[in-house]
Structure 1
Amino acid sequence: MLDYLDHLVLTATDAEATTYFYTQVLGMDLERFGNGHLAFRFGNQKINLHVRGNEFEPKAHLPVPGSLDLCFIADRPLDQVIRHLQNLPWPIIEGPVMRTGATGPIRSIYLRDPDLNLIEISERVA
């Protein structure tokens, strides 16, 4: 019945800090759409941004900043991602560690965005 995830919505407290994290730290592209709405695009997916107290309808029943746990597959070796984060510097809170992803084994690191959402960045392992 379902094929893939098109987008998800992230509720944040600070649009500027969140935009910095998702564009500069994670390398996503900033997209503006509709009536001034923002999204972070990567590959064929995007993350729409809602700012707490200024969400647009329809929205989740109880949108709360800091409640997401997201895993992204990197487009480059994980060691390059780690060097990029160290150069910013942006703290890695765990990893690299082995995990199980949707399509098999992955090697992952964990960090937090400005609202303390847990962000996992991974590479597939053969």
Structure 2
Amino acid sequence: MGKDAAVALLRFIDHVAITVADVDRTTQFYDRLFGAEVPFDHAPDGCTLVRTVIIGGAVRINVHQQGNGIDLVADRPTPGSVDICFRFGGTIREAEELLKGHGIEIIEGPSPRIDNEGNQAQSVYFKDPDGNLVELMTND
């Protein structure tokens, strides 16, 4: 299959996996901000190794407990190593208010950006409990 055919077949990112120090703490953080559903826990012997978390009703994150012994992972699965951008449906001011309302420090922004379709956008950045860099991007 050629590159053009492969490009035509690629649809979207299904999920992102992040490694964290505490699965419950991370789940609570994203639930507090965006609402979180937990459709699946891989928890043999009652110890959660991987949790599937759906935030905002549409975005899937697989949350891996650090040192979970699962072999199919990135080379260096380390808490705080992810940089992820979420498209935010509200205004940049609403994004700021959401974060400030939860006592979350905005470490940069609002900053002008270009989205994946080449349109003008704005972003604010913050850290999750493990130090992962999280961006909320909006086209308001």
- TM-score, structure 1 normalization: 0.87
Q: Show CA shifts across 1:2-39 (max 9, x none).
A: 111001101001222211221112x1423132533412
Which residue in the other structure is 2:53 paired with? 40
How much does 1:108 deviate?
Answer: 0.5
Aligned length: 124
Equivalence map 1:4-23=2 (5 Å): 4-23=12-31
Q: 1:86-101 alignment to 2 at 5 Å?
A: 86-101=100-115
Instruction: State the alpha-carbon separation in 1 of the partners of residues 53 and 63 from structure 2.
Output: 8
Paired-residue identity, %: 31
Superposition RMSD in Å:
1.8
1:111 aligned residue: 126
Partner amino acid, structure 2, of 1:39: T
Amino acid of the structure 2 residue aligned with 1:6: D
Q: Which has the higher helix share?
A: 2
Q: TM-score, normalised by structure 2?
A: 0.79
Q: Which runs of 5+ in 2 are unaligned?
A: 1-5, 44-49
The structure with the greater share of residues assigned to strand is 1
Task: Give the secondary structure class of the aligned counterpart of 2:94.
Answer: helix
